[in-house]
């Protein structure tokens, strides 16, 4: 009796474990020009329950169509709970062509696409396929109000011009010469602006003999109040000691300059548009982090290779470095070499952890003049000045070196930079 009950329970559970029935959609797809369709169909669906109570979860699948041949098997949807449709997107040539909806009935025979294609309005609206026809503007909530809130073209709008929102909120075209600049208020004018010229400590033109009271300037002060007259270093007061007419300074008789007096003037003048003075910015030749060493002799922990022909007389090279010591078993040493010339060498105790420094090299027609400063957490500040005869015709290498007295310690370069200042 027990066996019979067990077999009955197993047979009753088998339908629940079996796969749902499928309907085959099989067809040959063509384009409007008569050629066969090649591409993919992306079929998607929402969750539903099939007629045999199988739970179909929301998912999608992609079917490849080669030379028009389509074959795909799907769970019937017309008898599902709730009734559902499949969304089918046709893709070819790397783009999405169009969408449609399929309503798949139960069938033991393969069905062509025409038998499953549906024009269900709700499904078409959900997929956005547009099969229900164009949507009027009035049918889109808030569209008319949103369109009315945007700036529209005004009577002075012109294509190919800078746009301006005029006082009425309409788009207008900015007018002006092609070389003009547009200001924030929409007006135009020449780019750049005038900047004043400064004339400092100019000697006044005229004879200083005790009787002459009229002296000349090289230009007209602009503004006039910018003129400052110094007589033997004492500032003179306009209207009390002198008067200005154009570029002529007229002293009052009681303040006539005497022989031996020094007359100097400083003032501003109007000038043409400002012309920037070009200059070459600093150039970073090398920067980064180096390595570490536990060697008891000086070993390379970083380097900067400067190519031949880069440095010229008059250039200046700025070198900066930060080194760190790990361990406390013994002291350590760090060194920076400018070619074959020692630029910096410092010996630190076991308790020191950081050494930093900066060096400066002035490139001369032959060799370079060097200066350096360095210090540590415990290492006292030190400065040196020296020279190097290293030639630059074959380039130059700046080496960063380090060593420790005990191999259980290490020293490394945390950061370095080499900058050329033309």
| Three-class secondary structure of residue 357 per DSSP | strand
Widest CA span of the chain, in angstroms? 147
Per-residue pLDDT of 366-389, as tens digits, reads 899 999 999 999 999 999 999 999
Q: What is the pLDDT of residue 142?
A: 78
Mean pLDDT of 303-314: 86
Which has more confidence, 357 or 171? 357
Q: What is the pLDDT of residue 414?
A: 92
Per-residue pLDDT of 226-242, as tens digits, reads 999 999 989 999 999 99
Mean pLDDT of 49-65: 92
**pTM, two decimal places:** 0.38
**Mean of per-residue pLDDT scores for the chain:** 85
**pLDDT-above-90 percentage for the chain:** 52
- Among 7-16, 46-55, 109-118, whose mean pLDDT is lowest? 7-16
Residue 165 pLDDT exceeds 80: yes
The DSSP line for 42-98 is EEEE--EE-TTSPEEPSEEEEEEEBTTEEEEEE---TTSBS---EEEEEEETTEEEE
Residue 130 pLDDT exceeds 70: no
Parts of the chain belonging to CATH 2.60.40: 19-127
Give the H or E element holding residue 313: none
Long-range Cβ contacts of 229-238 (<8 Å, 24+ apart): 229/204, 229/263, 229/264, 229/265, 230/262, 230/263, 230/264, 230/265, 230/266, 231/257, 231/261, 231/262, 231/263, 232/261, 232/262, 233/262
Q: Would you say how long the chain is, in residues?
A: 422
Which has more confidence, 402 or 393? 402
Which has more confidence, 78 or 146? 78
Residue 9 pLDDT exceeds 60: no
Mean pLDDT of 155-162: 80
pLDDT band at 121 (very low <50, low <70, confident <90, very high): very low
Which has more confidence, 79 or 277? 79
Q: What is the pLDDT of residue 129?
A: 43
Q: What is the pLDDT of residue 128?
A: 43
Phi-psi region of 94 (alpha: psi -120 to 50; beta: other; left: phi over 0): left
**227: buried, middle or exposed (CB in 10 Å: 19+, 13-18, 0-12)?**
buried
Contacts of 69 (CB under 8 A, 6+ apart): 28, 29
Mean pLDDT of 250-272: 87
Residue 310 pLDDT exceeds 90: no
Closest CA to 266 of 228, 221, 224: 228
Phi, psi angle pair for 69, to nearest 5°: -80, 120
Q: Taking CA 193 as the corner, what is the angle to CA 187 and CA 194, rounded to the nearest 5 degrees? A: 135
Mean pLDDT of 133-159: 76
pLDDT band at 111 (very low <50, low <70, confident <90, very high): very high
Residue 74 pLDDT exceeds 90: yes
**pLDDT-above-70 percentage for the chain:** 88
The dotted CATH code for 19-127 is 2.60.40
Q: What is the pLDDT of residue 308?
A: 83
**Distance separating alpha carbons of residues 122 and 90, to the nearest angstrom:** 19
Per-residue pLDDT of 173-195, as tens digits, reads 888 777 788 887 778 777 765 56
Phi, psi angle pair for 270, to nearest 5°: -70, 150
pLDDT band at 393 (very low <50, low <70, confident <90, very high): confident
- Among 134-138, 213-217, 292-296, 322-326, whose mean pLDDT is lowest? 134-138
Residue 19 pLDDT exceeds 90: no
Parts of the chain belonging to CATH 2.60.120: 283-421
Closest CA to 24 of 108, 90, 114: 108
Mean pLDDT of 392-411: 92
The dotted CATH code for 283-421 is 2.60.120
Which has more confidence, 123 or 26? 26
Q: What is the pLDDT of residue 276?
A: 47
Mean pLDDT of 326-353: 94
Which has more confidence, 244 or 288? 244
- Among 157-171, 174-188, 270-284, whose mean pLDDT is lowest? 270-284
């Amino acid at each position: 009796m027990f066996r019979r009950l067990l077999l009955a329970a197993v047979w009753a559970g088998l339908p629940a474990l079996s796969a749902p029935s499928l309907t085959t959609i099989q067809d040959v797809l063509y384009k409007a020009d008569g050629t066969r369709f090649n591409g993919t169909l992306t079929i998607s669906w929402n969750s539903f329950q099939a007629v045999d109570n199988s739970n179909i979860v929301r998912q999608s699948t992609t079917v490849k169509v080669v030379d028009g041949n389509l074959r795909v098997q799907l769970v019937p949807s017309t008898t599902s709970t709730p009734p559902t449709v499949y969304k089918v997107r046709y893709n070819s040539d790397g783009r999405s062509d169009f969408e449609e909806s399929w309503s798949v009935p139960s069938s033991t025979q393969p069905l062509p696409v025409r038998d499953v294609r549906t024009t269900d309005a709700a499904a078409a609206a959900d997929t956005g396929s547009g099969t229900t026809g164009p949507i009027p503007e009035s049918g889109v909530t808030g569209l008319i109000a949103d369109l009315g809130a945007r700036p529209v073209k005004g009577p002075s709008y012109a294509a190919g011009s800078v746009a301006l929102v005029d006082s009425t909120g309409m788009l207008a075209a900015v007018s002006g010469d092609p070389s003009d600049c547009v200001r924030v208020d929409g007006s135009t004018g020449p780019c750049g602006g005038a900047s004043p010229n400064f004339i400092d400590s100019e000697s006044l033109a005229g004879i200083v003999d005790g009787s002459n009271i009229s002296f000349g300037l090289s230009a007209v002060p602009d503004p006039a109040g910018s003129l400052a007259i110094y007589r033997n270093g004492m500032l003179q007061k306009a209207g009390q000691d002198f008067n200005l007419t154009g570029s002529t300074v007229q002293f009052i008789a009681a303040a006539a300059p005497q022989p031996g007096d020094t007359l100097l003037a400083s003032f501003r003048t109007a000038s043409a548009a400002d012309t920037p003075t070009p200059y070459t910015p600093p150039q970073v030749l090398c920067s980064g982090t180096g390595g570490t060493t536990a060697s008891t002799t000086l070993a390379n922990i970083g380097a900067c290779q400067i190519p031949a022909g880069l440095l010229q007389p008059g250039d200046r090279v700025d070198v900066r470095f930060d080194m760190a010591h790990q361990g406390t078993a013994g002291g350590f040493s760090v060194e920076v070499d400018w070619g074959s010339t020692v630029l910096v060498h410092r010996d630190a105790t076991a308790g020191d952890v950081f050494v930093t420094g900066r060096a400066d090299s002035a490139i001369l027609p032959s060799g370079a003049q060097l200066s350096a400063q360095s210090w540590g957490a415990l290492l006292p500040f030190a400065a040196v000045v020296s020279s190097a005869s290293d030639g630059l015709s074959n380039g130059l290498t700046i080496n960063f070196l380090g060593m420790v007295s005990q191999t259980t310690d290490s020293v490394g370069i945390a950061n370095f930079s080499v900058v050329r200042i033309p």
